[in-house]
Amino acid sequence: MELTNLQKQTVDQLLALYNPNTKTKIDFKAPTGSGKTLMATAFISRLIEQNPNDKFVFVIATPSSSDLPFSFEQKILQYKQDLSFSDFSVEYVKSPSETGQNKLKTDGTIKIIPEQNKIFIFGKSSFGKDRILTTRHVINDFVDITIDQDYKLIYIRDEAHIGGRLKNDENFEALMQNNATLIIKMTATPDYKDLTINKVILTEENLNNPAKNEGKYLLKTHAVALLKNIMTDEDMLLDAIKNFKKIKEQYKNLEKDDVYIRPAMLIQVKNDTNINIEESILFNESLNNIKKQLNNNNLSWVQYFGNNDKESNTIYKDKFTLSEITDNKSDIDVVIFKLGPATGWDIPRACMLLQLRNVSSEGLNIQTIGRIKRNCYPRLVKNEITDKYYIYSNAPQDNNLFIFTAKVKQEFVNEQFMSVEITNIKDCSKKVSEQRLKNDLLNYLDINKNKILQYSKDLFLVEECNNIYYKDVHLTAAGGQYVSKISNVFQFIKFYNNVKSSNKYIFDFCEKIFYEFWKTNFIKTKIEDFQYTKEMFYITLVKYFKNDIVNLINKNKQYKPKYKVSSLPYKPQEYTEIYSSISHEESTRMHSYLFDTKLNNIDFSQPIGENLSSPEVIVFKKICKIDYDKGNIRVWCKNFTTSNVNGAYLDEYNNVRRSFFDFVVKFKNNVFLYIEVKGDKDINPEKTNMLKGAYQEYFNQNYTLFDNIIVMSIFKVNTTKGTISQESFYDKTKINKDLKSLSIDGLFKELSSL
């Protein structure tokens, strides 16, 4: 599991704030599904690696029950295997009780002993009534030992916004706050008023901005919601099933591109079904009806209410775990689950959430919705089919759920906007700088040498009969993995030739380099008693390192892109997004604004930026003022990163990327201004320089690219002073004036007068 570019930058921001000599507090906000546990693990790994002389002890606290801290532990153990530095241990600390069935069987002394670079994970149950950690002051002793032995205590609080504090953890929280060198609170509600607390914010808009995240989409972006309290459970269930079967057919169409994903519907039911007899009877009747309708429609389902309360309508019965049904190829269509037992569980192939009033006491909330928002498409590419997530609910809506909708106004439905495409991607020259590719690839293989060998040992296994075989995983379903064991030499040769044939692009450029590296580094290596062959090496590279290798090939291509401009109406014409909190919103009550917007059914409201001093908010307010004062703007908007108004360009690896401009302005004289916004601290100046190069190249063609006059500007915002400077790119044969010397007001005045 590797971090995306934006995740890496976020980890870099956290690391930059660490000061061994000063107590530092950080509020860290990131959307559900953005990989907070992965980023926390990478942060811990790199902090230890970069500070080898420091003695660290890490404490992670979560307000959830035992399911989430256990999941946290398991994920860290999984993620750390892929990190360059993994020499740290993890322990989920459970607290026995003084009373009841879980009563501690001994009166002996209980201690938690700090160890260098160890992570201790605590859940709220650790600090409940009659818990040993609370009653016997075990945490106090742990902190005292940590400080006495000169450890640096790093405290990470997960979901810090939930409930304010952990139950009965006042003493624990005070100990952490007073003694930790670094305090990171993962929260949906950062304290913007407290300037002593550093803020690291990863927004969903940036996370799914391909220009900022290497063209990768961690989350689905297109919500399809049916939220109607007046619908009966039966009608909503049947409608959801009908549409889910259509969705299955759409996913089936992906197989022609060798993409095999079986979508899943999640049905969430209430955690506590024993409140009273009447409710319990209604719950069981409704649950049985759900299963009956799923059976009638030939949908496979599992019910997961905890490890000891499972069943299904498949041959697996209760012989499955949650982790086994997450795989993209799993044969399970529907998962009926309780939120508590399934806490911390991820199922990226899930695309539909169904909540029915008679079986769901939980309000529709962002954590549950987050389960169906994760992108399941290979290499986190955006696909029209897998980008949609469907929400069916007649259950009450959580108070902390915000639904934003935007619809292009009728008068602007056919308004034309311009986008830039690259036309010669498929026909571009295949010529590659062989020597540069060789140097880059040999260096890459050397850096990843140990990881490559480890992956090979996972793929090629030795049986008890002392026979080596290749483990080809076909399907992960309830009950376990279904694999082919290729041990026959002739079958393996056929399989190997198929791998080479289907990856001809890589082998045409790289096979000689692969062989040279294998011969130099692995020719005498063995997997147990068997020779580690070049075929094993090649298969491992293609299976686990294909994307990076293709990037290196593309990086060393020698060709020039050809651009084409398309003029078309704005899409999507309707847009829906769901948020867990709205830090700041702005009014769009202007005739010239492209969209009719609603936020929780309140007209003319749109979430923009994190606060009043956010760069996007400052630019938004500036355009509003100019629009009101001058009235020369025909139409403008805050652009969505899923829109068709963008500019294609090549990154450093010659991969096609897109610049989704932050603001789009069209003047009454049909002049366009496309704006990219940057703040004081540009978290990725290399990408900004890449964008500048792309914009410049648009206007350096030997022919006129744009029929209309179009200007692309980078607005640099000083968030302290609230001022904006700009750098503009344009066709100087159409505009004689030096636009770069103008103020923002001057730029708008000049463009509107052309």
Question: Is 0.75 surpassed by the pTM of this model?
Answer: no
Quick one: CA torsion of 627, 629, 630, 632, rounded to 10 degrees?
20
- Angle CA(44)–CA(187)–CA(26) in degrees, nearest 5? 55
pLDDT digit string, tens, across residues 416-435? 999 999 887 766 556 677 88
What local confidence, expressed as pLDDT, does residue 70 receive? 74
Radius of gyration in angstroms for the set of CA atoms belonging to the chain, rounded to a whole number: 28
Domains, the chain, ordered by start:
5-202 (3.40.50.300), 222-400 (3.40.50), 434-555 (no CATH), 562-752 (no CATH)
- Please tell me whether residue 474 adopts helix, strand or coil conformation: strand
pLDDT digit string, tens, across residues 9-29? 899 999 999 998 899 999 998
What local confidence, expressed as pLDDT, does residue 96 receive? 59
Is pLDDT at 286 greater than 60 in this prediction?
yes
Taking the C-alpha atoms of residue 214 and residue 484, their distance in angstroms, rounded to an integer, is 35
Taking the C-alpha atoms of residue 529 and residue 521, their distance in angstroms, rounded to an integer, is 18
- Please tell me whether residue 41 adopts helix, strand or coil conformation: helix
Q: What is the arithmetic mean of pLDDT over 407-413?
A: 96
pLDDT-wise least confident of 361-370, 503-512, 527-536: 361-370
Q: What is the arithmetic mean of pLDDT over 189-206?
A: 83
Terminus-to-terminus CA distance in the chain, angstroms? 52
Burial of 529 (0-12, 13-18, 19+ CB in 10 A): exposed
Structure tokens at 667: 């003047």
DSSP code for 481 = E
Mean pLDDT of all residues in the chain?
Answer: 85
pLDDT digit string, tens, across residues 95-152? 654 444 444 444 445 678 999 999 999 876 565 555 666 667 788 888 999 999 999 9
Q: Which of these, 221, 213, 190, 210, lies nearest to 584 by C-alpha position?
A: 190
Structure tokens at 487: 């041990």
What local confidence, expressed as pLDDT, does residue 480 receive? 44
Higher pLDDT, 164 or 543: 543
What local confidence, expressed as pLDDT, does residue 644 receive? 92
What local confidence, expressed as pLDDT, does residue 415 receive? 96
Taking the C-alpha atoms of residue 643 and residue 8, their distance in angstroms, rounded to an integer, is 25
The enclosing H or E element of 692 equals helix 685-698
Is pLDDT at 158 greater than 90 in this prediction?
no
Residue for token pair 């704006």:
675
Q: What is the arithmetic mean of pLDDT over 200-213?
A: 79
Residue for token pair 């998962």:
335
What local confidence, expressed as pLDDT, does residue 479 receive? 39
What local confidence, expressed as pLDDT, does residue 98 receive? 44
Q: What is the arithmetic mean of pLDDT over 656-672?
A: 92
Higher pLDDT, 741 or 270: 741
- Evaluate the CA torsion angle 499, 503, 508, 512 in order and state its sign: negative
